[in-house]
Amino acid sequence: MQIIKKVFLIILIFLGMLPGTAVAASGIEITPFGGFRFGGSFQDANTGDSIAMDEAGSYGLMLDFDTEPSKQIEIYLSRQSTKLSSGGAVTGNPKFDLTVDYYHIGGLLMLDGERTRPFISGTFGLTRMDPQGTDRTTEYYPSIALGGGAKIPLTDRLGLRFDARGIFTLVTNNSTVFCANSGCAIRVQGSGILQGELTAGLIFKF
């Protein structure tokens, strides 16, 4: 809970630094969503095995604040409950439940469209990886996401939103992750983790 509070504090400070006219009073959108997240793996430098995050559902919330007719500030919060398991042939590799959260802020650019409005998005922030049911450490890394999608209005206050995004998490090469008193589960070989996510949500406009 402490990390979530810190993330929201950073977001509030960021919004407070914007000029008074930057966030237009004409529009705020709240979009709860569900989706599917895939990809993401570590290369274990000790064994050479690929330690993968299993494909699994995701859910979260997006908040969008109008700044110009075609631009929005976006807050993106997403959670996936998955498993970390070995893709290699060697037995005894780590395998446990893993919660992967993204806490991001960024922007959204609307493109031309008569009814359906396509868009491109870009956000950055923090990735939180929390092993479940173990005493292993929770890991935090910087991350960035790029994506696109479309918004389809249903009424003046409701709409549908569809997104596809790629999310890259920066992990230091040769760092150890998911450590406990018994030792660390993985020594990372490589520089990052790439996941893809497809989502659909219901837009509430205020």
Higher pLDDT pick, 190 / 65: 65
Q: Tell me whether residue 42 is in a domain.
A: yes
Task: Read off the tokens for 164.
Answer: 């596809």
- Distance, CA of 36 to CA of 168 (rounded, Å): 16
Q: Tell me whether residue 160 is in a domain.
A: yes
Residue-wise pLDDT tens digits, 117-169: 999 999 999 999 999 887 889 999 999 999 999 999 999 999 999 999 999 99
**% of the chain at pLDDT higher than 70:** 83
DSSP 8-class letter at 134? S
The domain total for the chain is: 1
Report pLDDT for 135.
84
The domain in which residue 54 lies consists of: 28-205
Q: Please, are residues 29 and 158 in contact by the beta-carbon 8 Å criterion?
A: no
Q: Which residues contact 33 (CB under 8 A, 6 or more apart)?
A: 59, 60, 61, 62, 161, 163, 199, 200, 201, 202
CATH code, domain with 173:
2.40.160.20
Q: Which residues contact 128 (CB under 8 A, 6 or more apart)?
A: 3, 99, 100, 101, 102, 103, 138, 139, 140
Q: Tell me whether residue 57 is in a domain.
A: yes
Which sign does the torsion angle of CA 38, 39, 42, 48 carry? Answer: positive
Q: Which residues contact 115 (CB under 8 A, 6 or more apart)?
A: 152, 153
Q: Tell me whether residue 17 is in a domain.
A: no
Inform me whether the pLDDT recorded for 106 exceeds 90.
yes
Residue-wise pLDDT tens digits, 55-94: 999 999 999 999 988 999 999 999 999 998 876 444 445 5
Report pLDDT for 87.
64
Q: Tell me whether residue 62 is in a domain.
A: yes
Report which of 161, 196, 169 is spatially closest to residue 72, judged by C-alpha positions: 161
Q: Tell me whether residue 1 is in a domain.
A: no
Q: Tell me whether residue 78 is in a domain.
A: yes
**% of the chain at pLDDT higher than 90:** 56
Inform me whether the pLDDT recorded for 21 exceeds 80.
no
Q: Tell me whether residue 23 is in a domain.
A: no
**12: pLDDT confidence band, cut at 50, 70 and 90?**
low
Report pLDDT for 181.
81
Which sign does the torsion angle of CA 148, 153, 154, 159 carry? Answer: positive
